[in-house]
Amino acid sequence: MNKAAGDDLAVDVSARESNAVTASRWPRILAPIALGVAFLLLWTAIVRVKGIQPYILPEPLLIARTLVSDWHTLSGSLWITLSISLAALCAAVVLGLLFSILFTQSKWLELSLFPYAIVLQVTPIVAIAPLIIIWADNVTVSLLICAWLVAFFPILSNTTLGLNSSDHNHVNLFRLYRASRWQTLWNLHLPTAMPYFLGGLRISGGLSLIGAVVAEFVAGTGGSASGLAYRILESGYRLQIPRMFAALTLVSLCGIAIFACLTLVSHLALRRWHESALRTEN
């Protein structure tokens, strides 16, 4: 009898926790949606009351119609910008992890190369993008390099910090059991660095898109290699402001989608063991 009562109590507690999680999830979804709808309604009201012309500030419905009518052109540009961003992000992940591991294994290498990584980070991409475009024979390669330069440092710095954040007691325990460098790296340093790496990955996801757009602005590529940045410039020159806002909307939505996907990846990787992803009663 006591066992049955205990099972019923456990089921009741589990059901209450599930309902509490569901109830706490809805405000996080509905609040930003309500704020966004209110902003769009206010935008529409200001445009219509003030009589602002579409070539100055189009209303959201006109932007949506332009997005639908020009989708054939804008979708191709979206794919070009997105492909460059994702390729730069993948390169930043691979090289960032590689250099972080090398820095962890050799302090002399870290002290020698890390300052140059900082130099690349603090140098504005707008200043060096023209040089990269001149030096690179292929425009796509130059855009990829520019986007990679922007996305590389957050992964490198965060992962290096994570690899150096292992508990010293655990490190001494691995040494006591005569674990090899590879065993210590795989079983201790990399799991410790995982949250740091995923945090840097979320930052680099947005920065890779920014780097690709900025590089496209500088390159000014047209024709079949036209990304969203070129469509924005082209619309501005032709005073097609609704189309400009439609391209800007696609850039924003693309950045939100990248961040949401990387946040989901981070949650799935950490939800079972790391404190930042575990649900608590508070």
The string of DSSP letters for 86-146 reads: HHHHHHHHHHHHHHHHHHHH-HHHHHHHHHHHHHHHHS-HHHHHHHHHHH-SSHHHHHHHH
- C-alpha 240/C-alpha 247 separation (Å) is 11
Structural domain boundaries in the chain? 1-52, 61-270
pLDDT tens over the chain, length 282 residues: 455 545 444 445 454 555 554 556 777 778 888 888 999 999 999 999 988 888 889 999 999 999 999 998 888 889 999 999 999 999 999 999 999 999 888 888 888 888 888 888 888 888 888 888 888 878 888 889 989 999 999 999 999 999 988 888 888 888 888 888 888 888 888 889 999 999 999 999 999 999 889 888 887 655 445 788 888 888 888 888 999 999 999 999 999 999 999 999 988 888 877 666 665 544
pLDDT given at position 18 = 52
DSSP assignment of 223-271, as one string? GGG--HHHHHHHHHHTT-HHHHHHHHHHHHHHHHHHHHHHHHHHHHHHT
Alpha carbon distance 131, 278 (integer Å): 46
Between the alpha carbon of residue 61 and those of residues 44, 70, 74, 231, 246, the distances in Å are 8, 14, 17, 20, 11
CA dist 263 → 68, 85, 96, 182, 205 (Å): 29, 17, 19, 29, 10
pLDDT at 281: 45
Residues in the chain: 282
**Amino acid, res. 131:** L
Cβ-proximal residues to 192 (8 Å cutoff; 6+ apart), any chain: 162, 163, 165, 166, 167
Do 78 and 250 contact (CB within 8 A), yes or no?
yes
Predicted confidence at residue 151, as pLDDT, reads 92
> Which pLDDT does position 224 carry in this prediction?
47
CATH number for domain 61-270, candidates 1.10.10.10, 1.10.3720.10, 1.20.58.220, 1.10.1040.10: 1.10.3720.10
Query: pTM for the whole thing?
Result: 0.83
Task: Judge contact between 201 and 258, C-beta under 8 A.
Answer: no
* The predicted structure's pLDDT at residue 9: 47
Structural tokens at position 278:
């575990």
Short-list 261, 269, 258, CA closest to 81: 258
Tokens of 99: 């250099």
pLDDT at position 119 is 86
